[in-house]
Structure 1
Amino acid sequence: MKKKMLCMLMALTLTVSALAGCGTGKESTDSSQGKGEKASSTSETSNSSEAGELKYYGQSAGYGLDPGNQYNGWYAVEYGVVETLFKLDDNFEIQPWIADSYELSDDHLTWTVKLKEGITFQNGKELDAEAVKKSLQHTLDTNDRAPSDLAIESMEADGLTIKFTTKSPNPAFINSLTEPYSAIIDMESGKDFDKEPIGTGPYMVKEVVPDEKTEVVAYADYWGGAPKLSKATDLAFKDNDAVVMAMQSGEIDAAYAMSYDGQELFANDDNYAIDKSTTSRIYMLYYNMDNENLSDAKVRKALNMLIDKESYGSVVMNGNGEPATGMFPENTEFGKDLKATEFDVDGAKKLLEEAGYSDSDNDGFLDKDGKKLSFRIVTYSSRAELPLIADAMQSQFKEVGIDSDIKITDDISTALKAGDYDICPYSFTTLPTGDPGSLLNSVFAKDGSNNFAKYNNETVNGLIEQINNEFDADKRNELVREAMQTILDEDAFCFIEHLKMSVVTKSTVENLNIHPLDFYQLDANVSISK
């Protein structure tokens, strides 16, 4: 059966390549929909970069850069223009960035943050706590997510020290200060923040041309040392085929998130390098608990037994998927040591029989009480792998007598909110701030904004409430693992793959490495030689 499943999935690989070539748009952290493809190819046509100048495809060319403006901070951090008080390392652990340290009061309401000395904005103005206060107030006034995430009651600035008082205890407060919306800019620069924010990073904005390019140049007085690049230009392309051709011709020196088939062209060439990292982005299944069949735990467990995660990762995602156990990556303290239902076709058949399903009318499909076992699989195409996952599921379901139909929609949010689905292949970035609490509340809590499954477990609800108020990291991690294992034991969802992000570079490019969070790209250490 395993061999048969592999053959079936391999038949989908050409479609994977075709769809992957369409998915060049960015996504928000918890949204299913991307920003769409760039409208035109770049006007830059030189076949090589000058020494110290990098030309690349980073997926964000021409977007606005005001950190407070929704997700634009992600792009400004990508370009090394702005920086946050704290950042996340490769293991999603918090590290100081332009902050030096922090302390929390005994009542868990006041966070005292001290800034590093000697940091200047790109106009030469010194960074101080007052500048941080003004920048974060701009974000609180502008951004949809920041007010609830940060829940700041007041801010006090004194020299290089800023005190934040929150409205209630918030264990994830420092995590939220790693989110790019909290990047610091000079609010008194007199510049258009979306076109030319003045930050503290190693690169300054030179030009932003919508649908064409974003160009940054080195800030020689950067507090972390002079950048090794003199200039970097992120170029827009109409599709992934254009990106591949630009890489082959030498028009660009690097490309993020190249299509899977495109990567293969460079994989065995010593003139190029490919760096990959498993991210927190999960590919998963929502099961609609209002569906009579899916309310049966045996049916959900049987369906999960039909998902061959190893084959999905190696074939459907062409090696760019890491089989998942739970919602969060297994290299995190709160994602490790969990156990999920494993691939077992014979076991699935047995469970369905125990649940009362049989092919009573010999039509090839299982039924119970005169009703065929059938599901509506609804998904979307802005994440190219999702329709392929739906196709693979449908084929495997049919092998054991489960009927299904697939609908691809451009408005998945409306379908999910209306409950107009039975099973939904879906994708999230689960750790944009390194903290699991946000997604736990959103997806699994009874009244969560993304609880489209209408999942309601009193034990899980209670554990989430404890997580929201627990400041001890070890205890918090233990509570997250307990909540996730409870969810897994119920087979309430299926967590299929964590995405491996990639960047293809010329061999002359150094230190442009992939990070589990894709908004960390350019820094002062990136270099290119002739």
Structure 2
Amino acid sequence: MSKRYHILILFILSAVLLAACSSTPAPSEGQTKKKSVNLLFNFAASSLDPHVDTSYVSLRAGITETLVHLNDTSLTIEPWLAESWESRDGQLWTIKLREGVTFHNGKSMDGAAVKASLERAMKDSLAVKNALRIQSIAANAHTLTIKTEVPFPEFPSELVHPNTSIIDVTDANYVKKPVGTGPFAVASFTPRTAVDLVRYDGYWNGAAKLDSARFSFNEDANARSLALQSGTADIVFRPEVETLSNLEAIPGVKVESTSTFRVHQMTMNLERKALQDIHVRKAIDALINRQAIVDTILRGHAEAATGPFPSTFSFAPDYPDKKSGLDAARAHLEEAGYTEVNGVMQKNGEPLTLKLLTYSARADLPLIAQVFQSDAKKLGIDVQIQLIEIPEEYMAAKRDWDLATYSNLTAPRGDAGYYLNATYHPNGALNFSGADNDHLTALIDKLNATVGQEKRSVIAEQIAKYVDEQVYNSFVLHPNTLVAYKSDKVLNWVTSRSEYYMLTNELDVK
């Protein structure tokens, strides 16, 4: 046998051996396949810091939890990390914490740890500070005594907010690896790509059914749909609307369309000269063809909005009918002193030009912006669209814009107080329009001091009507939450109306 033939035989045998070693062996009878899912989300997070991250990834991915939980069915608040709470005057609160809860590093979640977490949240987030209005916190074992700056009967509902998530602040790697109490701990985090999670076996409410999970990001709605089709994602949040029929046709894929507490609105910057005229704001509102947008852009997966709150809420008032369309908008502009000259809407020789912000993480918002731009052009209004990444950061830091398509949860606690405080109170974290009206502020303060949903609903209606009269923002539609997932694999998935709770300890795979 030639030397060359011996070498050839050895090469073949080596190749076969390497292939055998590199192949993944099938699980033996005593082994079980690791359970995992990949959820693809529509916002790309650069940070996991639960106190400042506006995409709430830490809570949604099951890393952190809050003291109070929102029941998605009854829209009432219920205990979570807090076992109970009480107050005699609405200002001094006693909160008893759940005992036996530990952070992912094994440390006890006691009063001192929760106090430190809340204080850190208020220090690093003006939004949290303004929402909680806490004057002082005292901790004793598993009991907190909290005093608010003013009587605040609805204070516990603010503890639902994801930015009040409880973490161990002694472990300072908040951005990449916050140490929470949830069913999943962070294994690794790649900003704007994904966070990989592992089950926390010491979870107080029963270890997760999954061994691991991936919470990944892609702001391209079409790419999210393709990821489900190709099998690289198991659950896709807000797939491209135009692909829904294709997804529904795939065996083993389920598409859910659920009404939420969200509104797509046209936020108006009241610091801009043109928009300080109510007639200009009315013209902008009249230009928005809500039902056409629902039918074409959202394909019916939405409700045309008349105000910030969906019509099913008790505090959503009946609004007076308004004229809309080009003629109505033109009439409002004429009231403001504008005239159309050679196809250009102008006043005192200056054309009406509006800078409109939008962002692609919600695929329908840029389309709404384009429709508005097209309709405004018919009136001789030049609308310049600018695409931004993080709307909250841009709108808060820069005031060089006139309008912004923005999406907001308006009643995530089943109550109007959150949205009205955040959006129209001078200290509101989401008051990007710059609303500062003494009458409006007084009404909001009155709402904050009122106990009982029936009484609160009456005041909330008054506020919503006043905002409508002043046209501080225009409300376009209430979009459904769209989720597509592999129902032949994923078990116990719940499309929540609040959009807060996604990766839970109950989520499982077949």
- From 297, 301, 310, the equivalent of 1:329 is 310
- In structure 2, how many angstroms separate the alpha carbons of the residues matched to 1:183 and 1:207? 20
- Which residue does 2:264 correspond to in 1? 283
After TM superposition, give the deviation of residue 276 of structure 1 in Å: 2.8
**1:405 pairs with 2:399:** no
Q: Is 1:116 aligned with 2:94?
A: no
TM-fit CA distance, 1:482: 0.5
The question of 1:314 aligning with 2:295 is answered yes
Deviation readout 1:464-515 (Å, 9 max, x if unpaired):
2312333444322221110111222344432111232222100121222222
Q: Which residue matches 1:214?
A: 195
Match of 1:105 in 2: 88
2:56 maps to: 74
Alignment of 1:340-489 (within 5 A): 341-342=321-322, 344-345=324-325, 348=328, 351-352=331-332, 355=335, 363=342, 374-382=352-360, 383-397=362-376, 401-408=379-386, 410=388, 420=400, 423-431=403-411, 436-445=416-425, 453=433, 458-489=438-469
TM-score with structure 1 length normalisation? 0.75
**Aligned-residue RMSD, C-alpha:** 3.8
Matched residues in 2 for 1:60 and 1:293: separation?
32
Q: Give the 3-state SS of the residue equivalent to 2:258 in structure 1.
A: strand
Matches within 5 A, 1:4-19: none
Residue aligned with 1:265, SS:
helix
CA distance in 1, matches of 2:394, 2:37: 41
Question: Could you tell me how far apart the structure 2 residues matched to 1:226 and 1:345 are?
Answer: 56
Q: Residue 63 of structure 2 aligns to which amino acid in structure 1?
A: V
Corresponding residue to 1:89 among 67, 71, 85: 71
Which string of whole-angstrom CA distances, capped at 9 and with x for unpartnered residues, describes residues 81-105 of structure 1? 2211102233653221122211013
Structure 2 residue 113 is the aligned partner of structure 1 residue 135: no
**Are 1:228 and 2:209 an aligned pair?**
yes
Query: 2:274, 2:47 → 1: CA distance?
Result: 46
* Aligned-residue offset at 1:291: 7.4
Aligned AA for 1:376? L
- 1-side partners of 2:66 and 2:129: how far apart? 16
Q: Distance in 1 between matches of 2:318 and 2:169?
A: 46
Give the letter aligned to residue 231 of structure 1: S
Residues 143 and 337 of structure 1, relative CA distance in 2, 3 Å threshold: closer
1:455: Cα distance to partner?
A: 5.0
- Describe the SS at the equivalent of 2:484: strand
Paired residues of 2:395 and 2:432 also in contact (CA < 8 A)? no
How far apart, in 1, do the equivalents of 2:306 and 2:107 lie? 48
Cα 1:119–1:309 change in 2 (3 A) is same
Which secondary structure state, in structure 2, belongs to the residue aligned with residue 266 of structure 1?
A: helix
Distance (whole Å) between structure 2 residues aligned to residue 326 and residue 217 of structure 1: 42
**Unpaired stretches in structure 2, ≥5 consecutive residues:** 1-31
Instruction: From the superposition, tell whether residues 488 and 341 of structure 1 become closer, same or farther in structure 2 (CA, over 3 Å).
Output: farther
1:187 Cα deviation (Å)? 4.7
Percent sequence identity is 28
**Native 8 Å contact 1:298 1:355 kept in 2:** yes
Structure 1 spans left out of the alignment, 5+ residues: 1-48
Deviations 1:46-102 (A, max 9, x none): xxx95632123135787543434x118922211212211102233653221122211
Bigger mean CA deviation after superposition, 455-464 or 173-182: 455-464
